[in-house]
Structure 1
């Protein structure tokens, strides 16, 4: 007889919790009893993990997280967990506890049967969790050029803008931007180009720091969003539509600093783009380029849970990647509300060599973790999850006056 995975887990935290024999998903890493199995949602008719299910006290029916009007994650420790879920009922609009928290608080609709390990209504009759294969990359081959990628971002511009505030989205606020701005340094009075500026949020931050900023992006829709913000709250930022590989609107050595924030992974012609960056940057000028970390942005890019259907991050056992050394463009999926976005993958060494060969010395390299603001504003369990893998990396570089000197940056004669 096999003990229920969750009963045994929680019994280590509390002596009052009985351990029931497992009836479901036998042979898996997490066999379970009925109380910790899957429940039938009486809204959509599908089954869901008991932690992704709640009971509407008004309707007296179960509903799942997918059918809930809203989902909230509440920071509060219990039985070793650091948070719990609650779901807004699709019928009454009332907030209801996920069943794991309901069991803990003694308000599960069938609490007596749960405690006794007896059958109760609503448990899914399925005996095993269906294991889904991790999604694979959809490589696009030679069908992708810069125009293809620009069209994709034009389609997604408004959805992208919707998840930003004046400080960007979560990734930028709590991870990358602090490192990028630190490596960029004092920009007061600097002629600065924000390459691939998107909706212009970073251009405006840099203008607020005293830079004379020009933002360019190949997406007309993104630039329109940036221009709209500038018209409503002028900071003196100039915005224009321009390709990263064709900066012909600008003169040689026109800029003192160039930042490229999450741009190079959308560039097909990396060498051409860096050559243009070098051309419009003055000798001794600074390039700071941040982009998704190639080691963690290749392949399925999927967290693997010890419990296949669990909604909890604590039960994640690792991160699945693949095809790291393969260069090319593939479809980036999994962004809710976005149409597919092309992503150009290269191993890290390809960026290092391309930057060096374009005429730059590499002064600093960083892999940002959660910054001070993230630690202060995010719950501890969220910080711990975000620190498990690198989201981005950043190069800080200087344009050398004599390109032939780049290969001698390590002190060769």
Structure 2
């Protein structure tokens, strides 16, 4: 089956090929922005909600789910890439599941949690739009969605500041990586509108800063169900 080079399907196929080197890179602490800023930012944001239950959607190799679990939180970790969900389970994540965003949007994940967290895992177009529409049904009353993603103003680079597909890159990573997944760029305004139209109300926005460059590395959204 031919998959469009800039599409949600291509993202999953590329991550399947790179699951092993990604797991190795994260566990070896090779990603500097994560060591310096973003890992702590997302962990602190979730812990500040004092949740008893968390869903980690797009959990990757499971570092965040495991860290939350070690803080006494009941975590359900979900990823669409079987090798990543398996790596999470092998690392000690108790509840690690393989499920696509489309399946979650279709109601297959019959759970709810105090916090749903998406840490650098909202990369596509249609799959992300559909997933966010489903978030309110995954949240318990007074539940919280926390999203960390690339900061649009920084991630835009020299390209026009408009929504659209962007080619991926493994620049700065080891030669073990190949076939970089594409990603869908959204402006800050588009992110806020997507949250609103998904039945979510923004409660806080944070911009974690790189201590070296004094520029934002990421943006963190904290949103609750509307009404």
**Which TM-score band (shorter chain)?**
0.7 to 0.9
Structure 2 counterpart of 1:397: 223
- In the superposition, the TM-score normalised over structure 1's length comes to 0.49
Matched, 1:278 2:160: no
Equivalence for 1:323: 160
Residues 7, 182 of structure 2: 8 Å contact kept: no
**CA distance, structure 2, for counterparts of residue 332 and residue 348 of structure 1:** 22
Cα displacement (A) at 1:268: 3.8
CA shift in 2, pair 1:160/1:333, >3 Å? closer
Q: Report the secondary structure of 1:397's partner residue.
A: strand
- Report if aligned partners of 1:179, 1:366 keep a CA contact under 8 Å in 2: no
- The residue correspondences of 1:28-107 to structure 2 (distance < 5 A) are none
Unaligned runs of 5+ in 2: none
1:357 is aligned to 197
1:184–1:286 Cα contact (<8 Å) kept: no
Match of 2:10 in 1: 148
Distance 2:78 2:125 in 1: 14
Q: 2:188 aligns with which of 337, 348, 354?
A: 348
Q: What is the deviation of 1:215?
A: 0.5
Q: Is the 8 A contact 1:244 1:276 kept in 2?
A: no
**Equivalent runs, 1:248-259 vs 2, <5 Å:** 248-251=107-110, 254-259=112-117
1:261 aligned to 2:119?
A: yes
CA deviations over 1:8-64 (Å, ceiling 9, x no partner)? xxxxxxxxxxxxxxxxxxxxxxxxxxxxxxxxxxxxxxxxxxxxxxxxxxxxxxxxx
Distance across 2 between alignment mates of 1:398 and 1:208: 25
Aligned to 1:190: 52
Aligned length: 220
Q: Which of the two has higher C-alpha Rg?
A: 1
CA RMSD of aligned residues (A): 2.4
- In structure 2, the CA distance between the partners of 1:245 and 1:329, relative to structure 1 (3 Å rule), is farther
Decide whether the 8 Å contact of 1:245 with 1:274 is kept in 2. no
Conservation of the 8 A alpha-carbon contact between 1:282 and 1:399: no
Q: Distance in 2 between matches of 1:345 and 1:268?
A: 12
Equivalent residues in 2 for 1:132-281, closer than 5 Å: 143-165=5-27, 169-186=31-48, 190-230=52-92, 237-247=94-104, 248-251=107-110, 254-281=112-139
Q: Could you tell me how far apart the structure 2 residues matched to 1:357 and 1:227 are?
A: 34
TM-score, normalised to structure 2, is 0.86
Which one has more relative contact order, counting CA pairs under 8 Å at least 6 apart?
A: 2
Inter-partner Cα distance in structure 1 for 2:91 and 2:47: 25
CA distance in 2, matches of 1:219, 1:162: 16
SS at match of 1:199: coil
Structure holding more helix per residue: 2
Report the alpha carbon displacement of residue 343 of structure 1 after superposing the two structures with TM: 1.5
2:192 aligned with 1:366: no
Give the deviation of 1:188 after TM superposition: 5.4
Partner of 1:368, secondary structure, is: coil
